[in-house]
Structure 1
Amino acid sequence: MGEVCAELGEVVDVLWRSGTPSLQIPYLFNIALAISEYLPSFPAAPGATFGLLRKMDHALASLLVGRDVASGEALPGLQEEGSGMSRTDMVRCKSIVEQTRVVVVEVMGREGEVEDEESVAAGTTEGEETDGGDTRIDWDEEDEDEAALHNMDVAKVYENTIERLNEALNRGTAYDVGASG
């Protein structure tokens, strides 16, 4: 999954730099759907997966509000202040985001298969690392800390997008303006 995330991350970078919301939104949705479809098919690669999901979260949340959520700058390609997404896009985005969150919880909760991301990059397999002699290095304590960090990452999948979606979808409803039925 590490290689898949790296390749998709490059596509997301190109889309983000394009500054064209009419292209960014549908392609980001397609990438988000691809992520949720690919995740169960590969051994988990938490570092790469969460890195890509953070990048996707930033892009989708920024398109929702019409500003870069990290810098506060207006997004290029948006004519007016506000969201680059229509209500229909927002509803579709919410569905994709919720689906992906469920898939991430399932995949990261599986016992067993976890891709060793450092080994993939270095060309080694898990269990081959030594300190240069014949002694194996014990990585268990480091793995426990990393697992705790990944558990927090699971809870934060698409966090910014969900917050912005809830604000945008609830804006202007009868509940917000105090109308009574």
Structure 2
Amino acid sequence: MANPPSNGVDSDEDVEFEDVPFQPAQPQQPSTNGSSDLPSEHAGPVSTNIPWVPSLRVPPQREAPFPSGSNAEVQLRGRLSTAIDRINFRQMKAQMGMDTSNTQPGFSRYTCIQQLADDIEGTADMLWESATPSIQVEGLITLAGILERSLGTYPFDPEPTLTILNKLDYFFIALMQGEHPLSHVRLPGANPDRPFVTQTQKVRIRSIAESTRTNLFSMMPQSQDDEDEDENGDGEYDDWEEPEMPPWMMQATRIYERVLMLLGD
């Protein structure tokens, strides 16, 4: 599920999404001692080391792409250009760390990665709904590039960052394969003889994916194993204990995994 927009950020109109179940909840085992299964103050620590999986909501597409040169295609290009200009403007202000007293609503600087991710996701969903690859591919490449260049502006926040990267990964792989990312149904207008994504675009997508991985890995909290070792009074160090892996770490290792696997050759 896409994260809800933060306070102070304009949200797009509600869109009906396809329900996509991911991991069904595991049934709880019945208690054998008649006591409640709820944790109590006397129970041991509850493990939080459960792998986190980002939700994915994919809006339904049109049944056919917009005809080339049609008014609908021109309007889509205009909406995309306006959305990208707005994202770039807010991101520029975030990098400068400034706003003016007369800033228009919806044009204030981003204050966290969640706000940037919300705008990128809304624009990516608009492109996906259009089912028009002549605009989708270039638009998504532009959005992915903005995100890659903007990561260092904000403190590392795993959930919104990995959620939007997961969606972009799915969208890119769907357009390259000509299949819906979840149902694997052929996309409107898909033709094996005329792929949606050109070889030049694939090179650009791969470059963005690799740069994003590098930038994000450099931002993640680093291990402090050496600093955490405490020397005791005898001049010896306490036994080292392996730190608990954050719930999001497994997902972080899969940034653009699908794209890079497909373009690995």
- With structure 2 as the length reference, what TM-score do the two structures score? 0.47
**How many pairs does the alignment contain?**
134
Q: Map of 1:76-87 to 2, 5 A cutoff?
A: 76-80=188-192, 83-87=195-199
Give the counterpart letter for 1:37 in structure 2: R
Q: Map of 1:1-181 to 2, 5 A cutoff?
A: 1-80=113-192, 83-109=195-221, 148-166=246-264, 170=265
Gaps of 5+ in 2: 1-112, 224-242
Q: Which residue of the partner structure matches residue 179 of structure 1?
A: none
Greater radius of gyration (CA): 2
Query: Which string of whole-angstrom CA distances, capped at 9 and with x for unpartnered residues, describes residues 93-112 of structure 1?
Result: 1111111111111122369x
Q: CA RMSD in A?
A: 2.0
Any conservation in 2 of the 1:12–1:28 contact (CA below 8 Å)?
yes
Q: CA deviation at 1:81?
A: 6.0
Any conservation in 2 of the 1:67–1:75 contact (CA below 8 Å)?
yes
| Distance (Å, rounded) in 1 between the aligned partners of 2:193 and 2:258 | 19
SS at match of 1:97: helix
Q: CA deviation at 1:42?
A: 0.8
Give the counterpart letter for 2:197 in structure 1: M
Give the counterpart letter for 2:251 in structure 1: D
| Distance (Å, rounded) in 2 between the aligned partners of 1:19 and 1:106 | 35
SS at match of 1:149: coil
| Percent identical | 27
Q: CA deviation at 1:80?
A: 4.1
Give the counterpart letter for 1:161 in structure 2: V
| Distance (Å, rounded) in 2 between the aligned partners of 1:20 and 1:77 | 8
Give the counterpart letter for 1:164 in structure 2: L
Query: Which string of whole-angstrom CA distances, capped at 9 and with x for unpartnered residues, describes residues 26-61 of structure 1?
Result: 111111111111110111221111110111000001
- Report which structure shows greater RCO (CA 8 Å, sep ≥6): 1
Gaps of 5+ in 1: 112-143, 171-181
Query: Which string of whole-angstrom CA distances, capped at 9 and with x for unpartnered residues, describes residues 130-155 of structure 1?
Result: xxxxxxxxxxxxxx87x622211211
| Distance (Å, rounded) in 2 between the aligned partners of 1:110 and 1:154 | 13
Any conservation in 1 of the 2:178–2:191 contact (CA below 8 Å)?
no
| Distance (Å, rounded) in 1 between the aligned partners of 2:161 and 2:189 | 29
Give the counterpart letter for 1:106 in structure 2: S
Compare the two structures and name the one with the higher helix fraction.
1
SS at match of 1:109: coil
Give the counterpart letter for 2:138 in structure 1: P
